[in-house]
Chains A and B, each alone.
Chain A
Amino acid sequence: MEKILEVKNLKKYFEIKKEGLKATESHILKAVDGVSFDVYKGETLGIVGESGCGKSTLGKTILNLHQKTEGDILFHGVDIGNLSPAQMKPYRKRMQMIFQDPYSSLNPRKKISYLLRQPMRVHNLDKEIDVEARIDQLLTIVGLDVKYKNRYPHQFSGGQRQRIGIARALSLNPEFVVCDEAVSALDVSVQAQILNLLMDLQKEFGLTYIFIAHDLAVVELISDRIIVMYLGRIVEEAPKVSLIANRLHPYTKALFEAFPEMNPRNRRVKKIIVGDVPSPIDPPSGCHFHPRCPFAKDICKSQYPDLKEVSPGHKVACWLYE
């Protein structure tokens, strides 16, 4: 299979300044801390994890919306992490993003037609193609009536706005789309419609998705492969089927076990992990999960385990599997 994206040892650190009365303290927040993975053409790679695990930062960093701190982001072999904005422009056309909040991601003062025209104008497509026809086509693709194109965002429901966001992302014919919590803000019945739409569009246009979400059921439904993150690092990576059959990392197990099942007769025989997700500013030493892990050994407290392949395509970073 053709790799479209190769991420190698990617790091994104933020400097956090706390201004106190006496002195200004400075901390380094390691939002993404040495992450490597590949994305293959036409697949959906799901990224799951709880708040603060770095999944959204990762999504933005691989699109070069955040300047990386270290590591390589190879898009078709070209390291886009070091490109200037002008050099980056032709790549922007090929990689797009769909955002979580359909309210704040659309300019409330612009009509829908304007919002959809703008990307094509920025990339000078308006000289090559019939932009108005393309807008109609985009609206039809995402299931909106063409007659709505002169309306403003506030005249649409959340689900319809998300359709507009999707139409905008597709306006440049991208091959790679990062969906960052793209359905999290929607009601369940609307969420189902949008998930179907995203899956249909992928088939129709051969799109490659990175699908970032905290909802495990959504990720399991839509993904071909899944990455589980905890405090800036990948703890497990596997094809969906393999992950469902065999969850290896204690965090992955705990996470999926905590997810409520749809069957009232299967009420959880509890194995709930204790404690909160620690602060990413000062994560625990060694394996970041060790304070909450029921299987922690001495080595877990001092050394971070490498991500190792234990069966084809199934990788885990845990001392239990060394």
Chain B
Amino acid sequence: MENNKFLDIKGLNVSFYTQKGVVRAVRDLDLWINKGETLALVGESGCGKSVTASSIIRLIPSPPGKIESGEIFLDGQDILKLSEEEMQKIRGDKISMIFQDPMTSLNPVFKIGDQIAEIFITHYGLKKKEALERAVEMLDMVKIPSPEKRVKSYPHQLSGGMRQRVMIAMALASPHPGIMIADEPTTALDVTIQAQILDLMKELQEKIQMSLLLITHDMGVVAEMASRVAVMYAGRKVESADVYSIFENPFHPYTVGLLNSMPSNEKYKHNARLEAIEGNVPNLLEIGDGCPFENRCKYAKDICRNKFPEIKDMGNNHHVWCHFAGELNF
């Protein structure tokens, strides 16, 4: 089990030093992903899910950002100890990343074929001509029609879904694709295109046994894709479990609230009014050492205000950070 972890984050703390004060964007985060597994990191704006992703590829803008402490083991190697040069070699090789808006991640003035070919030139030392041939193969693999023609297209000539396919092709072009970090990969896409992209990601992942860290706010996408789920709120992980336990037996009041907030939840088939979580996400500058969900939680007691709970093991690798985990009736 232990040596099966492809990515293993231990005690990660990331802060941003702003004019208004220190924002603790990620606090004491432990997270691991096994080989070939899909972990969904779920949460709303400002919960720290994207900062976690940027930490894994070491692209936290610094200043103002800083990784304060923690270890990130990738394939057994602590990447926080690597030099920038060594890290450069890992990016686009063992780790690759795709983003919500593929237009901003592709260079608008180069043909997509050249952009994919660059990977083969840099990481494999191929000549331009061979590299372009490989680029065509990659486009074919992500099911872009007439790839020989498409390599000559510029990003703006492709639809959003096609661009995301190109990004996936680039992520898979690396010599040792070990983990793909997908940060809201389908959020900007239409639902029929989203279905196509999710399907493609699943299929390719099975084919090359790659780990996938899927960052999303959409519980529907989680249900569709994940094997395990970690829920974050205001910088903290509050619950983690396999996908079935999260949906069928959630223990944290926030997870429950999140599931109840989804209009697609089965329970709203007849009664239309949603069971919403009241209040707003707190300002990260103002969160102390208590549970960050305390001000919106209807079960909160004094202890929640003062102390962030210890990990509670509910069995079966289901972990919850709530003082009253298992004692609440939702």
Contacts and interface: CB of A to CB of B under 8 A. Distances in A.
Interface in A15-65: 50-51
A222 B274 CA distance: 10
Interface string A185-218: 0011111110110010000000000000011111
Contact of A188 (B193, B217, B247): B217
Interface string B257-268: 111111111101
The main secondary structure of chain A at its interface with chain B is helix
A261 B220 contact: yes
B274 A195 contact: yes
Contact of B276 (A196, A255, A268): A196
A276 B159 contact: yes
B45 interface: yes
Contact of A261 (B45, B223, B258, B275): B223
Interface string A255-271: 10111111111111010
A322 to B, nearest CB: 25
Given A220-B263, A222-B272, A267-B223, 13 more contacts: A50-B190, A50-B193, A187-B281, A188-B261, A192-B261, A195-B274, A260-B198, A260-B220, A262-B247, A262-B262, A262-B265, A262-B266, A272-B199
A274 B144 CA distance: 11
A273 B192 contact: yes
Nearest to B198: A260
Interface residues of A, number: 44
10 contacts: A50-B190, A160-B280, A187-B44, A189-B44, A189-B258, A257-B195, A259-B191, A259-B220, A260-B220, A264-B243
Contact of A221 (B162, B191, B263): B263
| Interface magnitude class on chain B | 35 or more
A196 to B, nearest CB: 5
Contact of A260 (B196, B223, B244, B265): B223
B224 A221 contact: no
Interface in B73-120: none
A264 B221 contact: no
Contacts of A270: 195, 199
